[in-house]
Amino acid sequence: MFYVQRNAQGELARVEATAFAESTDTLPADHLDIQAWFANEEAEVSLKQLKQSDSEMIRVLEDLIQVLIEKNVINLTDLPVAAQAKLKGRLNARESLSGLSKLIIDDETGLI
């Protein structure tokens, strides 16, 4: 049994396994509204996981492109102009930030 709160349109706004002050109804676990609520929640969790991994995946793709270029499998100029510009911009940004790594203490010789 789940405790639920509905909005003005009658849609589920909150679902909890334990009672809460704002709950307006209870529904069994096999109720269609409960199943839809948790299916939607599961989709949201999956989307969050994908979004969180996007930056990591971008870095993987950048590294892959760099390896392919270094091995002469492709040339940077084989890519569309917009992709070339984005890769160059990210490379420049990474190179400018690499100098900051000297400020971090790794072996107590850095400044921070």
pLDDT (0 to 100) of residue 34: 86
pLDDT, greater one: 69 or 95: 69
| Each residue's pLDDT tens digit, 11-47 | 888 888 899 999 989 999 899 988 888 888 876 777 7
CA atoms lying within 13 Å on the CB side of residue 89:
6
Angle (CA) 94 99 101, round 5°: 95
Q: How confident is the model at residue 107 (pLDDT cuts 50, 70, 90)?
A: low
Q: How many residues in total does the chain contain?
A: 112
Domain residue ranges in the chain: 2-52
| Each residue's pLDDT tens digit, 52-81 | 888 888 889 999 999 999 999 999 999 999
The helix (run of H) or strand (run of E) holding residue 85 is: helix 81-98
The pLDDT of 88-95, averaged and rounded, is 87
Q: Which residues contact 107 (CB under 8 A, 6 or more apart)?
A: none
